[in-house]
């Protein structure tokens, strides 16, 4: 699956292929599957892949972020070899026959010397390039969408050499577990994050997962007579045994706290904690904090705030 070292020297150096900040406004949900058998693992022997996955998935925090418009850009200079547009942006439910169009709306760029990149799941209309067009690093191709075989808004980027998939994080092949790859094809290194927090928010009830994934489950303010105050956290790459700690702090001190031990490995999930309210909350600014811990070490942390109004 990986390129030979000498060949990798001719590979393009890849820029971030979309307008987002990894770890803040997007995250890497899946890497190339480095397991040659029926299992799956990423290049660091983690769980952020699935059997046969052939690219890197840059995920949006929710549908609202996608709808706001996130531009996809050429990761390296080259020539547009192929493109497709016109497929609808909709969640793939596993039953729709895509007739081989799993990539959805997409673009393929030829970089020379047998190298090419493919950009999948772009939004319907418009793809902003044409076949045969020469592009430079950063040329706009279209927007992140939900077309093809996609269950969350993201850009799937594949890198190939002579038709063979190459992992840009480990172009010379996987190394020993927990050992960083000796080289990378990213112009600016992208840190490996084996799991983390996608979003965090307050609501006055237990949120629906669909609302969290849509990006509209958080409130910036709630009235003091709300029925409950709930802090929710949306996670990715969680493993069985990870501990999620949710803490709410009131203006005058601690409000509530819970540690949740996760019982299974999941690509994405959410958990929530809060209190039903039998009396009005004291008005003011409340703070929520989520900490994801693995093997006793903090993996990710995020904070959010909400204004309780009289």
d(CA 249, CA 256): 7
Strand pairing partners for 133? none
Q: What is the pLDDT along the chain (310 residues), one digit of tens a residue?
A: 555 555 566 899 999 999 999 999 999 999 999 999 999 999 999 999 999 999 999 999 999 999 999 999 999 999 999 999 999 999 888 888 899 999 999 999 999 999 999 999 999 999 999 999 999 999 999 999 999 999 999 999 999 999 999 999 999 887 778 777 778 999 999 999 999 999 999 999 999 999 999 999 999 999 999 999 999 999 999 999 999 999 999 999 999 999 999 999 999 999 999 999 999 999 999 999 999 999 999 999 999 999 999 9
d(CA 46, CA 41): 5
Between strands 140-143 and 105-112, the pairing is unpaired
The verdict on residue 247 lying in a domain is yes
148 and 20 fall within a common domain: yes
- Cβ-based neighbours of 21, under 8 Å, separated by 6 or more: none
Q: Looking at residue 4, what is its pLDDT?
A: 52
φ, ψ dihedrals at 63, nearest 5°: -65, -35
The answer to whether 265 touches 250, Cβ cutoff 8 Å, is no
DSSP assignment, residue 310? -
CA 242 to chain centre: 19
Residue 135: which domain range? 5-165
Cβ atoms within 10 Å of 64's Cβ, excluding its own = 14
Q: How far apart are the first and last CA of the chain?
A: 61
160 and 15 fall within a common domain: yes
The verdict on residue 172 lying in a domain is no
The verdict on residue 179 lying in a domain is no
210 and 147 fall within a common domain: no
Structural domain tally of the chain? 2
The verdict on residue 185 lying in a domain is no
- Cβ-based neighbours of 122, under 8 Å, separated by 6 or more: 72, 85, 104, 105, 106, 107, 141, 142, 143, 144, 145, 147, 155
Residue 147 burial by Cβ neighbours in a 10 Å radius (0-12, 13-18, 19+): buried
Task: Give the pTM.
Answer: 0.93
159 and 26 fall within a common domain: yes
CATH code of the domain containing 268: 2.60.40.2550
200 and 154 fall within a common domain: no
The answer to whether 213 touches 63, Cβ cutoff 8 Å, is yes
Considering only the C-alpha atoms of the chain, give the largest distance between any 2 of them, rounded to a whole number of Å. 69
Closest CA to 296 of 240, 258, 241: 241
d(CA 308, CA 226): 9
Q: Which token pair is 230?
A: 């709930």
């Amino acid at each position: 699956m990986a390129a030979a070292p000498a060949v990798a020297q001719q590979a393009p150096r890849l820029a971030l292929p979309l307008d987002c900040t990894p770890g803040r406004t997007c995250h890497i949900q899946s890497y190339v599957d480095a397991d040659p058998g029926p299992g799956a693992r990423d290049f660091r022997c983690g769980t952020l892949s699935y059997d046969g996955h052939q690219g890197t998935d840059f995920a949006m925090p929710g549908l609202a972020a996608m709808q706001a418009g996130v531009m996809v850009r050429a990761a390296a200079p080259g020539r547009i070899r192929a493109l497709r547009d016109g497929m609808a942006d909709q969640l793939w439910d596993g039953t729709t026959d895509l007739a081989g169009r799993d990539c959805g709306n997409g673009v393929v760029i030829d970089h020379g010397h047998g190298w090419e990149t493919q950009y999948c799941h772009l939004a319907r209309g418009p793809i902003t390039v044409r076949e045969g067009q020469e592009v430079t690093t950063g040329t706009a191709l279209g927007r992140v969408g939900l077309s093809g075989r996609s269950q969350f808004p993201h850009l799937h980027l594949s890198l190939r050499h002579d038709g063979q998939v190459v992992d840009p994080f480990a172009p010379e092949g996987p190394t020993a577990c927990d050992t960083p790859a000796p080289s990378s094809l990213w112009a600016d290194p992208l840190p490996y994050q084996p799991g983390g927090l996608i979003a965090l928010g307050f609501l006055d009830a237990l949120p629906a997962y669909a609302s969290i994934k849509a990006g509209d489950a958080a409130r910036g303010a709630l009235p003091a007579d709300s029925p409950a105050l709930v802090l929710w956290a949306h996670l990715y790459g969680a493993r069985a045994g990870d501990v999620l700690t949710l803490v709410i702090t009131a203006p005058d001190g601690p409000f509530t706290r819970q540690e949740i031990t996760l019982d299974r490995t999941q690509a994405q999930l959410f958990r929530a904690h809060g209190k039903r309210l039998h009396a009005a909350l004291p008005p003011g600014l409340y703070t929520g904090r989520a900490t994801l811990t693995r093997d006793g070490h903090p993996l990710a942390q995020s904070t959010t705030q909400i204004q309780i109004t009289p």
